[in-house]
Amino acid sequence: MMVQKVDGAMKINFSGKRILVTGAGKGIGKEIVTLLAECGASVVAISRTQADLDNLRSELGCECIAADLSNADEARNAAEQAGDIDLLVNNAGISVPQSFLQTTPEAFDKTMAVNVRAALIVSQIVAQSMIERGGGAIVNVSSQASQVALADHAAYCASKGALDQLTRVMAVELGAHGIRVNAVNPTVTLTPMGEMAWGDPAKSAPMLAKIPLGKFAKPREVAHAVAYLLSDYASMVSGITLPVDGGFLAT
């Protein structure tokens, strides 16, 4: 990965790099794929929805793999099918809002399977390839919910806390192989789904009041943080959880 100077600014250039992005079909994942492609990367996209993959292939020329990452075997097969990967973004995630007392074992297990176990499995396979080729970088897309409790999100908060700790362990163990591992932790992000969930001012106002910048994140702002952590700009950055939250965690 090189850095080019364009019109007086520094621009990340991922030309010649193959980057695997999970949960690539919608929202933050699609924005990450779009930005990485704009930076010259060859993107391999994993999504469970074939129609979303077809759109990515048509719009950006991505290599596409359909897989349900809640299934351990499908997660493993998808990572193996991706082949040699230089950089990895574990973005796939789900949320099944339920109160603590009403959280079902089924919802808890599926949330952990997608949000944590899939990142573990995909990273294990990709990291082996990175080790053979001398290094790489991995970014896990976590959430501010890893550090702040949200009502009706017991399983989700637990999964993102686990993902943050998995990130740290990966950084400790993979650093000796030249592999950096970090996480980004966005606040509410205005994907189409996020806009639907938080479009009601009565619901959004209390959350916005806790964000010093007074706004929710845009998908492109999260994608910029991911690209930075993947790039050589972050060559000495590993094992961190980077808030993309407008100062929420500082309050």
* Residue 192 confidence (pLDDT): 83
Structure-block tokens of residue 124: 């294990």
Task: Kindly give the interhelix angle for 219-230 and 27-38, rounded to the nearest 10 degrees.
Answer: 50
DSSP conformation letters of 81-124: HH-S-SEEEE-------B-TTT--HHHHHHHHIIIIIHHHHHHH
30 noted as active-site residue = no
d(CA 175, CA 171): 6
Question: Which one of the listed residues 156, 203, 215, 233 is annotated catalytic?
Answer: 156
Burial of 236 (0-12, 13-18, 19+ CB in 10 A): exposed
Helices 50-60 and 27-38: crossing angle, nearest 10°? 20
Q: How far, in Å, CA of 171 to CA of 188, rounded? A: 26
Phi and psi, residue 234, nearest 5°: -105, 30
pLDDT of 28: 97
* Report field, pTM of the whole predicted structure over 0.85: yes
Q: Are 80 and 124 in contact (CB under 8 A)?
A: no
Query: Tell me, what DSSP letter sits at residue 237?
Result: -
Do residues 244 and 229 lie in contact, with contact meaning Cβ atoms separated by under 8 Å?
Answer: no
Q: Which of 11, 17, 110, 160 is an active site residue?
A: 160
pLDDT of residue 6: 43
Q: List the chain pLDDT tens, one digit each, 251 residues.
A: 544 544 445 589 999 999 999 999 999 999 999 999 999 999 999 999 999 999 999 999 999 999 999 999 999 999 999 999 999 999 999 999 999 999 999 999 999 999 999 999 999 999 999 999 999 999 999 999 999 998 999 999 999 999 999 999 999 999 999 999 999 999 999 998 788 778 888 889 999 999 999 999 999 999 999 999 999 999 999 999 999 999 999 98
Q: Please report the pLDDT score of residue 8 as a whole number.
A: 45
Token digits of residue 21 = 């992005």
pLDDT at res. 215: 95
pLDDT at 7: 47
Q: Please confirm, yes or no, whether 233 is among the known catalytic residues.
A: no
Q: Do the Cβ atoms of 71 and 126 come closer than 8 Å? A: no
* Dihedral pair phi/psi, residue 233, rounded to 5°: -55, -30
